[in-house]
Amino acid sequence: AQTVTQSQPEMSVQEAETVTLSCTYDTSESNYYLFWYKQPPSRQMILVIRQEAYKQQNATENRFSVNFQKAAKSFSLKISDSQLGDTAMYFCAFMKPWGNQGGKLIFGQGTELSVKP
Amino acid sequence: GAGVSQSPRYKVAKRGQDVALRCDPISGHVSLFWYQQALGQGPEFLTYFQNEAQLDKSGLPSDRFFAERPEGSVSTLKIQRTQQEDSAVYLCASSLASGTGGDAFFGQGTRLTVV
Question: In which element (H, E) is residue B58 found?
Answer: none
Task: Using a CB–CB cutoff of 8 Å, tell me whether A48 touches chain B.
Answer: no
User: What is the pLDDT averaged over residues B35-49?
Assistant: 95
In chain A, which residues have their Cβ closer than 8 Å to the Cβ of B32? none
Determine the 3-state secondary structure of B85 from DSSP.
helix
Cα torsion for B79, B80, B85, B89, to the nearest 10°? Answer: 20
Instruction: Answer for the pair A50, A64: CB distance below 8 angstroms, yes or no.
Output: no
Tell how strand A105-107 and strand A111-116 pair up: unpaired
Determine the 3-state secondary structure of B30 from DSSP.
coil
CA-wise closest residue to A93 among A57, A55, A51: A51
pLDDT more than 90, % of chain B: 84
Q: What's the CA gap between A78 and A48, in Å, rounded? A: 11
In chain B, the residue whose alpha carbon lies closest to the alpha carbon of A112 is B40
Residues 46 through 65 of chain B touching chain A, CB cutoff 8 Å = 48, 56, 59
Exposed, middle or buried, B48 (CB in 10 Å: 0-12/13-18/19+)? buried
Task: Output the pLDDT for position A96.
Answer: 82
pLDDT more than 70, % of chain B: 94
Question: In which element (H, E) is residue B19 found?
Answer: strand B19-24
User: What is the pLDDT averaged over residues B36-64?
Assistant: 94
Instruction: Answer for the pair A15, A83: CB distance below 8 angstroms, yes or no.
Output: yes
Encode pLDDT of B62-113 as tens digits.
Answer: 999 999 999 999 999 999 999 999 999 999 999 886 555 557 899 999 999 9
Exposed, middle or buried, A65 (CB in 10 Å: 0-12/13-18/19+)? middle
Q: Do B42 and A98 touch (CB under 8 A)?
A: no
CA distance A110 to chain B (A): 6
User: What is the pLDDT averaged over residues B48-54?
Assistant: 92
Task: Using a CB–CB cutoff of 8 Å, tell me whether A95 touches chain B.
Answer: yes
Question: Per-residue pLDDT for chain A (117 aa), expressed as one digit of tens each?
Answer: 789 999 999 999 999 999 999 999 999 988 889 999 999 988 889 999 999 998 889 999 999 999 999 999 999 999 999 999 999 999 999 998 766 456 889 999 999 999 999
